[in-house]
Chains A and B, each alone.
Chain A
Amino acid sequence: MGEEILRVENLHVSVEGTPILNGMNLVIHRGEIHVIMGRNGAGKSTLASVVMGHPAYEITQGSIHYMGTDLQEMDVFERARAGMFLSFQYPAVIPGVKVGTFLKKSVQAVRNEEVKGREFRKELNEAMASLEMQKSVTNRYVNDGFSGGEKKRLEILQMLLLKPHLALLDETDSGLDIDALRIVSRGINAIAPNAGCLIITHYQRLLDHVKPHFVHVMIDGAIVQSGGPELAHKLESEGYEWLDAPKEA
């Protein structure tokens, strides 16, 4: 078992007074791939957002520790510089900011060093080639006019360049065609051996390409069931009803 990367204990989170997470517990070690599945509104994306420090979410109880450090003391950019990465379900569109400029600034900020142009271009070209991305993407504005698949590839490209210790992937597979799914999965598998990965998904099909160590089911803001990859298959065939608490007669 690798070192502990993320520890979530009894986490309660609210948005504008509405509870979303209700006693969430999760521990991720380096080299582990965890998958969280659940119905819409179960709190999956909230978990990813709150771990990354989105200011809209308020932690009302519990704690999150990243590599032994209490995350509540860290600003969003400090989390990124410490090696945390969130692949957004809906990445922001930033008109006027070119992808190439953005990537270089991000890499420099996270690595805390001046990145030399030639070396960065070489590294960028290799990463883009592995994701079958065209070089011209670097001259486009960040996510501006991108298709769903292009946005997700750009997220994975950033992950490859930033080499995080913890990768949170929020529905990275949604909206991808079969080829794009295969390519994005390749990116996840490239980073996974040296990081802790948390994948949020609705579909078992991603797990044909990325082999998880643990699959968790979230209902009403907490994990109600955990298991291996077979759990994802069961959910695919039987849905979530069998996990619902029995209703009183």
Chain B
Amino acid sequence: MKYADLAVPSRALHLWRYTPWARIHPTSVDAVPEAMPIRFSLIEGGAELVDGAPRILDGDDIARVFLSELGSSATTVQPDGSSEVVHLQAVASGHVAVGHLHLDFTRDTVVVLHLSGEADWTGLHITGAVAANTRSAFGLVNELSSNGKLLHCEDWTIERDAFLELAGLSIGGFRCKSDLRTRFLNPGGRLNQAISVHGSGQRHVDHHVEIYHDVPHTDSSLNVHAACDDSSHSITTGLLTIAENANHCDAGQVFKNLLLSEKARAEAIPELEVLADEVAAAHGAASAPVDPDQLHYLMSRGLDEESAVALLIEGFMQAGFSSLKHDALVDEMRTRLTVHLECELKR
């Protein structure tokens, strides 16, 4: 399917309700503009970066088709297992930047991708395959400039008895749309996914997360924490699918929003599609302002209101990562979050 053949998706669709295609497209919806390739580089750790990547397209999904047509350059990361953590950098520059990064997890590894740059519009497609019986983790730190747009897709497959942890820290970009999908290919797989979002100014952050339990004996957990200040807007929609006969799956989604101003908005819409009988599936969502009892407690220990609220925001976002088991991944995400929040406070 070509982009020109695809219709603009309807806002009636779950996926496009809150960030319509026209609002995340870099120009006018009919166009496929010229794009600069995102520069991927190795900052630290043992891995080889090679040109090219498997072409993974999800049928007629407009975002993936569009990203594919924007740029043909792709990079595959092959961790060599010589270090616990691999740090990668992705720099987006120019008017429109696009890149495809593929992660080939054949051994236990943690990879953290630091996304930065001044591009007006960034398109990032991440694909990953987790080999059988491995424990891997991937973290994305979105530190794009505050006036850029981001269209971001991820497609992961998890093999038999493999454990994958995915972490996302969204602190950059003005308007961000992420469409993250994971599919279990064989029994015994586990997915642990955590996302923390910080909204300030007029930032608009839309996460759509799909997890497909196509096979039995697979577990998944999704935790999303969004702290929204000023007139920012965070949206999280989830689609958890457990296929017919995919019995003995255990899946859960929890979305929490912390609203820090009267104009801040947050939507949290988990959705379950369970076709098997012998499964455990749960979801929950909550949005609330700062807890006055928590605030009073911190202030009774000498913190002024501004410092107390800042600590509560940091704690709320840090807690988003508390379900992750890879300490190296958690440490990195938390460090980047702390640095970000300290910079925000100094403004």
Does chain B have a CB within 8 A of A105?
yes
Q: Would you call A102 and B292 a contact (CB within 8 A)?
A: no
Which chain A residues numbered 54 to 93 have a C-beta less than 8 Å away from chain B? 54-55, 75-77, 79-81, 85-86, 88, 91-93
Question: Which of A79, A96, A102, A105 touches B322 (beta carbons < 8 Å)?
Answer: A96
Does chain A have a CB within 8 A of B49?
no
Q: Would you call B294 and A94 a contact (CB within 8 A)?
A: yes
| A95–B318 CA distance with the chains assembled, in angstroms | 8
Q: Assuming the A-B contacts A55-B292, A77-B305, A141-B319, are A96 and B300 also in contact, with contact meaning beta carbons closer than 8 angstroms in the complex? A: no
In the assembled complex, how far is the CB of residue B297 from the closest CB belonging to chain A, in whole angstroms? 4
Which chain B residues numbered 250 to 303 have a C-beta less than 8 Å away from chain A? 291-294, 296-303
Q: Which residues of B contact A77 (CB under 8 A)?
A: 299-300, 302-305, 308
Question: Which of B291, B301, B314 touches A96 (beta carbons < 8 Å)?
Answer: B314
Question: Which of B296, B307, B317, B319 touches A105 (beta carbons < 8 Å)?
Answer: B307
Does chain A have a CB within 8 A of B129?
no
Q: Would you call A109 and B303 a contact (CB within 8 A)?
A: yes
Question: Which of B291, B299, B318, B322 touches A75 (beta carbons < 8 Å)?
Answer: B299
Q: Would you call B315 and A95 a contact (CB within 8 A)?
A: yes
Does chain A have a CB within 8 A of B132?
no
Q: Would you call A95 and B297 a contact (CB within 8 A)?
A: no
In the assembled complex, how far is the CB of residue A14 from the closest CB belonging to chain B, in whole angstroms? 18
Q: How many residues of B contact A (CB 8 A)?
A: 26
Does chain B have a CB within 8 A of A97?
yes
Does chain B have a CB within 8 A of A156?
no
| A97–B297 CA distance with the chains assembled, in angstroms | 13
Q: Would you call A91 and B297 a contact (CB within 8 A)?
A: yes
* Nearest B residue to A158, CB-CB: B301
Q: How many residues of A contact B (CB 8 A)?
A: 30
Q: Would you call A76 and B296 a contact (CB within 8 A)?
A: yes
Does chain A have a CB within 8 A of B311?
yes
| A226–B244 CA distance with the chains assembled, in angstroms | 72
| A206–B296 CA distance with the chains assembled, in angstroms | 27
Q: Would you call A94 and B315 a contact (CB within 8 A)?
A: yes
Does chain B have a CB within 8 A of A47?
no
| A75–B306 CA distance with the chains assembled, in angstroms | 13
Q: Would you call B302 and A92 a contact (CB within 8 A)?
A: no
In the assembled complex, how far is the CB of residue A52 from the closest CB belonging to chain B, in whole angstroms? 6
Highest count of chain B CB atoms <10 Å: which of A75, A76, A80: A76
Q: Would you call A76 and B299 a contact (CB within 8 A)?
A: yes
Does chain B have a CB within 8 A of A36?
no
Does chain A have a CB within 8 A of B316?
yes
Contacts beyond the supplied A96-B315, A96-B320, A97-B318: 20 A-B pairs with Cβ under 8 Å: A52-B300, A55-B296, A75-B299, A75-B305, A76-B296, A76-B300, A77-B303, A80-B299, A88-B300, A91-B297, A92-B294, A93-B294, A95-B316, A96-B316, A97-B315, A106-B298, A106-B301, A106-B303, A110-B302, A141-B319
Could you show 28 A-B contacts with beta carbons less than 8 Å apart?
Answer: A55-B292, A55-B296, A76-B296, A77-B303, A77-B305, A77-B308, A80-B299, A91-B297, A93-B294, A94-B312, A96-B315, A96-B317, A96-B318, A96-B322, A97-B312, A97-B318, A101-B311, A102-B301, A105-B307, A106-B298, A106-B301, A106-B302, A106-B303, A109-B307, A110-B302, A142-B315, A158-B301, A162-B302
Among all A-B residue pairs, the 3 with the closest Cβ atoms: A96-B315, A96-B319, A109-B302
